[in-house]
Amino acid sequence: MKKTVLGFVVLVSLLIVPATATAASVSGTVTVDGGSADGETVTIAPLDPSNELVGNETETTVENGSFSYETVEGAITYFVELEHEGTTHYALVDDGEQPDFVLNDTISGELVDENGTPISNATITVTSQHGPEVTQTNTTDGSFTIGPVQPDRVYTLDIEANGATYERAVSTGDDAANTTFELSTPTTDRDALTLSGGQPVNHLLNVGPTQNGTGLFVVETVSVENGADRPFAGDVSVAVPSDAEVVTGMVGDERTSVSQTNGTATVETMIGPQETTTVNVYYRLEDRAFEKPVGYDVEQLAIRFADYDMSQVEVSDNLVEADAPMPMVTSTGPLEADDQISVSITESNQSVASDQTDGSSGASEFPLGLVSAGFVAVIAIGLAAYRYV
Amino acid sequence: MMGGTLLIGAALLSGLTATVLLITNYLRREKRYLNAVTPLIGVTAGLLSLALAYLTYQFVTTDYANAYVWNNTANYISIFYRITGVYAANQGSILLWAALTAIVAFWAVVVRGLEHRETRLVQGITMGVVTYFAAMLVLDSPFKPISAEFPEMDPGFVPIDGTGLNPLLIDPYMAIHPPIMFVAYALLTMPFAIAVAHFISTVRGEGGLFDEWIGSVTRWLRIAWLFLTAAIVLGSLWSYRVLGWGGIWAWDPVEVAVLIPWLFLTATLHAVMNYRSRSTYATLAPAMTGATLALIVYATAIVRSGVFRSVHSFADGGIGAALLVLLTITSILGIGLPLGYWLLREPESASETSSPSRRWITHVNLKHLAVLSIGLLGFISVWGLTFPVLNTYATGVEVAVGGQYYNLWSYPIVLGVLLVLGFYMDYDVEGRRRALLSLGIFSLLTVLAALVAPSETWTLSNVDSSDALLYRLVGNASALSILPPAAYVCLTVIKRTLEFVPGNPNRNFQLKQVGITMIHIAFALLVVTVTFSYLFTAQSSLVVADADREATIEGSAVHEVPESNYAVQVADYRSYQRPEEPNVENMALSSEQIASRGQEIHETRQPVYGTATQINAGPDATVIQLDNSGVWLGVMNASQTELGISEGDQVVGVGTVMWDFLPELPQSDGVVVTEAANVGPVSNPPAALDQTRVEGTAVGLTVYQNGEQIARGNAGQEQYLQQGGMEVRDVLVDRGLTHDTYVIAAVDDGTVSLTVKQIPLMTVMRFSVAALLVGMLFVIVFDPAHGLARLWPRVTRQQNVTETTSD
């Protein structure tokens, strides 16, 4: 009797194991030159063919120089992350392969300026060839050592010094030890900058309505090239309408703060030698009209309109409607920095669509009447059946 | 300050004394100092209640000298939610639990006395639990001084405002849910003690005490079931209104953790009602009774210890270890002891030889099946909760068990439970042949209904071919299959009631049977409504771009909600903050308070207010005397005109208190050093004094269905700035006879994103829940064998209840 019951309980327990449990195990190793990674954390992210995470990341620890994890159904690669003494290392392994971390190399060197003088106070951020950060270190005297790191890899060093950022790549096992990095002192000379590049033009305004619809929201973009042989680190300014309320700015992909004085919005910018970056200034206007100086000598300037059509738009004479798939105006020819441009938007006769649907998950309507009638009928018929059958 | 901890310490002492006296008197079969025990238990209960009352008083008066108060409330919180702050975190809720358990123990000892020897063991175990709680509270007291939070401050420092209450707990349902839950927990301590005492007595060869205590056990269990059910219902109502919880039930670990003891308690009730000494359930009924508290502690450990990553880890750390120890003790006593006894000591096959009949279908076997099925439901939940933890420890891989696991495994068992229940109710009044026939018919109907799915919505789950076989099998079944078993239960229960109740001379028996009927019909309806309300919730959404402008227009546009028969109109749009009208006096110290705190606040940053009675402008600073006192406000690098303050103005500023700062100004004892930006008139305080805790936006909505107005109300969100910007949604719910209309509004800078849900059968569900509770109340009061109505006012011992009164 007891054995039967116990056996039954065991059987039920085994049966009810959630169906996720079957998985194979993979083990990897960690070798540290002159040390050990035991007790340190390894994070495993299973990825599907489009590099999306499958399920959750898992964590495990290194024991006796090795670690293991379960494979996940649907994952074809595993992004494995090892944290060791403040540095992080990465391995991308295919399903079925074994991740092995070898930490036996170092990156070291000295930072000097163009005269060979060591650079004090620099921050060096090391990123792996897979993209994520490996470690960050500071140097006060220009010399630095990073390691242990993995051999035969390309590491990128982002060096912040002199108010500029320098990017250098090193390959371990090759030129990684005792390298001298010459970092030329940045220039603050605005003359080094010219407008260049940018899509579709190197000076562009995007004009649209504000959230409440009564004013204008403008994103002004200038594409700036640093023609000098050294980085540029200094202010770049954009002429904005005098009544503009500047919201924020962006340099490249990074948000930055903007200072605003008398129709000029100034953004602190860093541009590498011979490189181009975009400077964006976002501002809001109370009214649906503005006038402003161009601010730069420019070959061509364009203004693009979102949510307005060309019949609503009036512009100054130096601008003309462009042949483009969206509402847009361009300058009639090159403009000078002092030239004025103006835009005004009139109320459209057709109202802007204010209702938007973002989909709905419809379940079919519940046939309450039918179901309850059926339910009650079954009970009633049942009661009758018991009585008369 | 330490008064509260002293109260608990005294309670620990008296509880410990009572426990030791009770246990030694039981073991030595004597009555030494036994007269002292009842007063001691009373003192313990009184002291713990007093500590609880004192803590509540501190909350109401916002006494931030207590770190626990400071952590769990704030000035702007209303009196009601200040009280609920008492059990917002671990220490307070353990105190509540301990006090309630002590009161239950005191009640029991007053009613039963200590004449019988086993009573001492039972009370000893109950008081042991109370003592353990008291010890936990002494080690981790809810009366820790505020200096524990601010070790760097001088002694005597008291903050002006608290940090606030977990926003999720600022809800009327959540306010009463925990105390009701803890009442249930406290009540379950008694049956636990009785069951453990039973096994100790049985193992010692003294024959056990379950026979004698069965009435008492039944009453404790039933009342506890009533409270536990009410607590779960309140919790569900709460999660229904708080967005992101997936309606009334989301299989969150904490919800599962509460469901386990509930299911187990339900199974235990059925087992205990069929307990017969030396035959059926001689071991299982007391064993299950004992295990319930272990499961309760298990559930609490999960909620409080943070072992599981739950959506709502209300509180974590510290207390977890103590609860795990308690879990071990209760498990050993409540589960290990009965299991050991069953394996090693129980006379083998006594139960089998005692039933001469070899027939399979008997009342007893059907009850076995019911207990087993409900137990199995509980086991699915236990396993779903435990498996991820075991798996994490065993393999290091985290596996999440989702709602689908619980739904799909539980569904067929629920169908089975319904069919068994229907059959039992039928078999109770009809012959074996007729009952079997209708069981066959309804089983067949169930299988057929499972194959009929009028549309995709009817299938239980979206499964794909890679899922396990059972998932595919159950997942593809139609929800229609829930109807035949539920109808079967309603049919047979009604029939049995019609057979039993009319004409029975015993009024109490009639009322109890009505209760039984209500409970079981409510259960069947609950299963049906839960299933359908989940599957048939329809949802559609709409964005109103200029809601703030529309709100100002009389008779503004009515927006059709796409793919639904709803339309909405924005009638109101407002942003607000709490506290509504910040009172400077609540946020800043008066010059008098600054002076009286003296050196303790030297070089600390403090807000101060007062009337400017003298203004001296120097080259580098302007100094302002407040209220003719020795306290001055020193504003660096600002002239009087820049400040715009003249003598006689009410001013407020935030700055660093420096005593003896200006020796050249003899009338100044101390200066609050600040800069122009942090000073202003009281009518327009500086930003540094901004004490906004909650920023809310709400829209007033009028909801139309098929062109008719069905509801008006507010929806929106509130952001709790000092709780990490946590957002709480305020939803608009219109309760309808056939369905609820549920509107969620996400408001952002004039734009409102509305989600309109139509959830069917919620009112039937509410009705079922009410019937469940009222039905149990009937059973508790009117049960002819163990009911309160018969029992009151004196205690009688009831043995060998006749078969017909069982259910």
Interface test with B, best of A378, A383, A387 (most B CBs within 10 A): A378
CB B631 within 8 Å of CB B595: yes
**Bridge partners of residue B695, in order along the sequence:** B577, B719
The tokens for B708 are: 């008719």
- Identify the domain boundary among B689, B717, B751: B689
In whole angstroms, what is the distance from residue B785 CA to residue B767 CA?
28
pLDDT at position B582: 66
SS3 (DSSP) at B422:
helix
Q: Which residue has the tokens 């929106």?
A: B716
For residues B505-513, average pLDDT: 89
| pLDDT 10s digits, A140-162 | 888 888 878 888 888 888 888 88
For residues B125-144, average pLDDT: 93
CB A128 within 8 Å of CB A117: no
The tokens for B414 are: 């629920």
Angstroms from A280 CA to nearest CA on chain B: 23
**DSSP element (H, E) containing B614:** strand B605-617
pLDDT surpassing 80 at residue B58: yes
SS3 (DSSP) at B6:
helix
pLDDT at position B399: 64
B651: containing domain: 584-689
When pLDDT is cut at 50, 70 and 90, the band that residue B521 belongs to is very high
Is B684 inside any structural domain? yes
Is B66 inside any structural domain? yes
Is B155 inside any structural domain? yes
B803 secondary structure, DSSP code: G
Q: How many domains does chain B have?
A: 3
In whole angstroms, what is the distance from residue B343 CA to residue B611 CA?
82
SS3 (DSSP) at B716:
strand
Cα dihedral: A208, A211, A212, A214 (round 10) = -20
Q: Taking CA A213 as the corner, what is the angle to CA B542 and CA A253, rounded to the nearest 5 degrees?
A: 85
CB B614 within 8 Å of CB B668: no
Using a 10 angstrom Cβ sphere, with 0-12 exposed, 13-18 middle and 19 or more buried, the burial of residue B775 is: buried
- Which phi and psi (to 5°) does residue B736 adopt? -115, 165
When pLDDT is cut at 50, 70 and 90, the band that residue B351 belongs to is very low
The tokens for A319 are: 């601008």
In whole angstroms, what is the distance from residue B457 CA to residue B536 CA?
7
Interface test with B, best of A214, A360, A361 (most B CBs within 10 A): A360
> Residue B491: which of A70, A359, A383 has the nearest Cβ?
A383
Three-state SS letters, B723-751 = CCCEEEEECEEEECCCEEEEEEEEEECCE
Cα dihedral: B254, B259, B260, B265 (round 10) = 140
The ipTM, to two decimals, is 0.76
Based on the fold, state whether residues B657 and B736 are members of the same structural domain: no
Three-state SS letters, chain A = CHHHHHHHHHHHHHHCCCCCCCCCEEEEEEEECCECCCCCEEEEEEECCCCCECCCCEEEECECCEEEEECCCCCCEEEEEEEECCEEEEEEEECCCCCEEEECEEEEEEEECCCCCECCCEEEEEECCCCCEEEEEEECCCEEEEEEECCCCEEEEEEEECCEEEEEEEECCCCCCCEEEECCCCECCHHHEEECCCCCCCEEEEEEECCCCCCEEEEEEEEEEECCCCCEEEEEEEECCCCCEEEEEEECCEEECEEEECCEEEEEEEECCCCEEEEEEEEEECCCEEEEECCCCECCCEEEECCCCHHHEEECCCEEECCCCCCEEEECCCECCCCEEEEEECCCCCCCCCEECCCCCCCCCCCHHHHHHHHHHHHHHHHHHHHHC
Based on the fold, state whether residues B54 and B110 are members of the same structural domain: yes
**Bridge partners of residue A187, in order along the sequence:** A232
pLDDT at position B352: 44
DSSP codes joined into one string, B682-703: TTS--GGG----EEEEEEEEEE
Based on the fold, state whether residues B685 and B698 are members of the same structural domain: no
Closest CA to B539 of B559, B558, B563, B560: B563
CB B242 within 8 Å of CB B171: yes
Percent of chain A residues topping a pLDDT of 70: 88
Based on the fold, state whether residues B708 and B736 are members of the same structural domain: yes
pLDDT surpassing 60 at residue A366: yes
Interface test with B, best of A2, A17, A307, A379 (most B CBs within 10 A): A379
Inter-chain touch A213–B539, beta carbons under 8 Å: no
When pLDDT is cut at 50, 70 and 90, the band that residue B398 belongs to is low
Closest CA to B356 of B274, B270, B432, B279: B279
Angstroms from A281 CA to nearest CA on chain B: 21
The arrangement of secondary structure in A190-345, i.e. its CATH architecture, is Sandwich (2.60)
SS3 (DSSP) at B28:
coil
pLDDT at position B123: 93
Task: Check if A4 contacts B (Cβ < 8 Å).
Answer: no
Is B681 inside any structural domain? yes
When pLDDT is cut at 50, 70 and 90, the band that residue B806 belongs to is very low
For residues B596-602, average pLDDT: 78
pLDDT at position A12: 64
In whole angstroms, what is the distance from residue B213 CA to residue A130 CA?
70
DSSP codes joined into one string, B523-581: HHHHHHHHHHHHHT-EEEEEEETTHHHHHHSTT-PEEEPTTSSEEEEEEEEEEEEESSS
Inter-chain touch A386–B495, beta carbons under 8 Å: yes
In whole angstroms, what is the distance from residue B16 CA to residue B132 CA?
9
Radius of gyration of chain A (CA): 32
Cβ-based contacts of A68 with chain B (< 8 Å): 396
**Bridge partners of residue A166, in order along the sequence:** A159
pLDDT at position B526: 93
The tokens for B339 are: 């299991």
Inter-chain touch A354–B545, beta carbons under 8 Å: yes
In whole angstroms, what is the distance from residue A36 CA to residue B777 CA?
66
- Identify the domain boundary among B145, B164, B183: B164
pLDDT surpassing 50 at residue B316: no
Based on the fold, state whether residues B633 and B572 are members of the same structural domain: no
Inter-chain touch A363–B548, beta carbons under 8 Å: no
Based on the fold, state whether residues B129 and B158 are members of the same structural domain: yes
When pLDDT is cut at 50, 70 and 90, the band that residue A60 belongs to is confident
CB B174 within 8 Å of CB B313: no
CB B421 within 8 Å of CB B489: yes
- Identify the domain boundary among B135, B164, B193: B164
Cβ-based contacts of A363 with chain B (< 8 Å): 457, 535-539
Is B33 inside any structural domain? yes
Q: Where are the domains of chain A?
A: 22-102, 105-182, 190-345
Inter-chain touch B483–A16, beta carbons under 8 Å: no
CB B419 within 8 Å of CB B436: no
Nearest CA in chain B to A381: B491
When pLDDT is cut at 50, 70 and 90, the band that residue A19 belongs to is very low
Based on the fold, state whether residues B571 and B616 are members of the same structural domain: no
Task: Check if A359 contacts B (Cβ < 8 Å).
Answer: yes
Q: Which residue has the tokens 């220009």?
A: A142
CB B652 within 8 Å of CB B685: yes
Number of residues assigned to chain B: 807
Inter-chain touch B399–A16, beta carbons under 8 Å: no
CATH class of A105-182: mainly beta
More confident residue, B460 or A5: B460
Q: Among residues 6-35 of chain A, which lie with CB inside 8 Å of chain B? A: 12-13, 16-21, 23, 25
Inter-chain touch B753–A357, beta carbons under 8 Å: no
Interface test with A, best of B397, B457, B464 (most A CBs within 10 A): B397
Inter-chain touch A1–B352, beta carbons under 8 Å: yes
Is B233 inside any structural domain? no
pLDDT at position A355: 36
Is B649 inside any structural domain? yes
SS3 (DSSP) at B634:
strand
For residues B732-752, average pLDDT: 86
Least confident of B80-89, B635-644, B778-787: B635-644
When pLDDT is cut at 50, 70 and 90, the band that residue B211 belongs to is confident
Task: Check if A351 contacts B (Cβ < 8 Å).
Answer: no
In whole angstroms, what is the distance from residue A313 CA to residue A327 CA?
9
The maximal CA–CA distance of chain B, rounded, in angstroms, is: 109
Based on the fold, state whether residues B610 and B744 are members of the same structural domain: no
Based on the fold, state whether residues B565 and B623 are members of the same structural domain: no
The tokens for A166 are: 């320098």
CATH placement of domain A22-102: 2.60.40.1120
Least confident of A9-23, A49-63, B250-264, B419-433: A9-23
**DSSP element (H, E) containing B589:** strand B589-590
CATH classification of the domain holding B610: 2.40.50.140
In whole angstroms, what is the distance from residue A86 CA to residue A83 CA?
7
Based on the fold, state whether residues B602 and B703 are members of the same structural domain: no
Closest CA to A75 of A50, A54, A60, A90: A54
More confident residue, B50 or A251: B50
State how far the alpha carbon of B50 is from the alpha carbons of B96, B529, B636, in Å. 11, 44, 51
When pLDDT is cut at 50, 70 and 90, the band that residue A321 belongs to is confident
More confident residue, A85 or A15: A85
State how far the alpha carbon of B121 is from the alpha carbons of B21, B43, B47, in Å. 10, 19, 23
| pLDDT 10s digits, B148-196 | 777 766 666 777 778 888 787 888 888 888 899 999 999 999 999 999 9
Inter-chain touch B545–A360, beta carbons under 8 Å: no
How far is Cα of residue A296 from the mean position of the Cα atoms in its chain? 30
pLDDT surpassing 60 at residue A125: yes
Inter-chain touch B539–A19, beta carbons under 8 Å: no
Based on the fold, state whether residues B84 and B32 are members of the same structural domain: yes
Based on the fold, state whether residues B588 and B572 are members of the same structural domain: no
